Chain A
């Protein structure tokens, strides 16, 4: 099947700074695809190129088989974009935000009204339809932004950090809405730095760092390839070289507050820890997550 998004050697430069440094991508119709990476990894720049707002500096990019440079208008007509920061229109009501946006896609007034009604239900905002945007909660604004992205009945929806800054309830409600879109066959492309979000939503993802793709695969396969099945977290009351005493048990990583032990079987490892005479004050055995993969691949240095 033809790729919805096809990129080869895609590069975006801003002056001397290279934000995206030659990436290859293929996203198939119906897929939920994620970009994972720390701040400054090049995720948003890539999304803006896919959204046909920003033009590639070099490399090849095709969206729906079309060239963004020549067919930007047609491509954008089939896209829905949910930006990182809500840019809802503060001068308009909730409903007008949808109807006005529908007009940008060329819908007639009557079509726009119908569409707005559907989407108000989808976003569970019908009782706030006449409200201004400002008093809405963060979760409501996000849902409205996603509903707005849907006005053109897009085949592909781009979501840039869709749940950043939301409380857990709002996040789960939003995920549930995104599942609904997937069930309708809409292709989702999202960026996130929440590992649980990537595991929840994405069939396939790439990890970006420094403008390059450093890993690619399904959440499970990435964990399998770049991490052990289980992780043991050990906390110690007194300081000391605890990690040094764990040689041979598994790869140990000493953090300021705890030691992480990457192992195949967590319970076996804990037993071994005790056999060696170590007395951790806290022990947690857990399955490894994308977060472990992510930190493995991009390092623990704080990126700001």
Chain B
């Protein structure tokens, strides 16, 4: 990552300035805060209704290696991954698209020494900050409910950050392709499908073989597996594969987005 930054000759000052703009926007009024706060509650509500509520009917679940956990402890890390994903996506899709297409924010920035790739990195870093607030708060909830504990909770946090980077990068790449707000409906549907079927509420091994194969190819599955493995302390080499999948998403998404900003706004 560091060597990639050197290769792209990124200026930390300029990347920081792109992030700083968003800090300024945060102070602009309550509207933004309302959106940010509501984003935190969504996964908490799912955790309570399904993890705890439905969990009372399900009981305990076998997670491999002979280990058995409460259903809520199985669902909670998935919700953590989902909150990392949606926090980053909210920033790199809606907000990013608005700044790129309507507010002409990036056009104004590109008249300064800031380069397209620095916009992309700054925006992704900002998405990471928002995601960190969600996942940090959600982890506190998990610890308080006894769904994860100690060092494992700390290990799950950077994993959630990687999830945020991966989805943030891909979300940004998709935003550069969006034609208008109608395309976001499609994105929302896709996001919801991932949310339901990525081994979030039931182990993917319970799915029919074909469906399992499809799910295993999609990104949230890898995010959930990585975060869950760490949150419940079920560590294996498989986690490296999941992390690798997410790293590729982050890097490819970022590179594509930077390229598209250049081609669209610097024609």
Instruction: List the interface of chain A (C-beta within 8 A of B).
Output: 14, 51, 53-55, 72-74, 76-77, 79, 81, 83, 85, 87-93, 96, 99-101, 103-106, 132, 152
Contact with A along B2-22 (1 / 0, CB 8 A): 000000000101101110110
Interface majority SS (helix, strand, loop, mixed), chain B:
helix
Contact, CB under 8 Å: B28 / A79? no
| A106 / chain B contacts, CB cutoff of 8 Å | 11, 13-14, 17, 113
| B112 / chain A contacts, CB cutoff of 8 Å | 76-77, 101, 104-105, 152
Partner of B24, one of A85, A91, A104: A91
Contact, CB under 8 Å: A73 / B24? no
Contact with A along B103-124 (1 / 0, CB 8 A): 1110111111111000000000
Taking A87-B103, A100-B20, A103-B13 as given, write out 15 further A-B residue pairs in contact, using a Cβ cutoff of 8 Å, ordered by the A residue number: A14-B267, A54-B266, A73-B113, A83-B108, A87-B104, A87-B107, A88-B108, A89-B24, A89-B103, A92-B21, A93-B28, A101-B108, A105-B112, A106-B11, A132-B28
Asked if B186 is at the interface of the complex by the 8 Å CB criterion, the answer is no
- Shortest CB-to-CB span from A271 to chain B, Å, is 55
| B14 / chain A contacts, CB cutoff of 8 Å | 104, 106
Q: Mind listing 11 A-B residue pairs with CB under 8 Å?
A: A51-B111, A79-B111, A87-B107, A89-B24, A89-B108, A91-B103, A92-B28, A100-B20, A103-B16, A104-B114, A132-B28
| B110 / chain A contacts, CB cutoff of 8 Å | 53
* Cα–Cα distance between A103 and B20 once the two chains are bound (Å): 8
Asked if B25 is at the interface of the complex by the 8 Å CB criterion, the answer is yes
Q: Which residue of B lies closest to A51 (CB)?
A: B111
Given contacts A53-B266, A77-B113, A105-B113, contact A87 B24 (CB under 8 A): no
Interface centre among A85, A88, A89 (most CB of B within 10 A): A89
Q: Which residue of B lies closest to A88 (CB)?
A: B108
Contact, CB under 8 Å: A89 / B105? yes
| A96 / chain B contacts, CB cutoff of 8 Å | 24, 27
* Cα–Cα distance between A103 and B28 once the two chains are bound (Å): 18
- Shortest CB-to-CB span from A212 to chain B, Å, is 21
* Cα–Cα distance between A53 and B20 once the two chains are bound (Å): 22
Q: Which residue of A lies closest to B105 (CB)?
A: A89
Closest 10 CB pairs of A and B: A91-B25, A103-B17, A87-B104, A104-B112, A81-B111, A87-B108, A77-B113, A73-B113, A96-B24, A91-B28
| A132 / chain B contacts, CB cutoff of 8 Å | 28
* Cα–Cα distance between A87 and B98 once the two chains are bound (Å): 13
- Shortest CB-to-CB span from B45 to chain A, Å, is 29
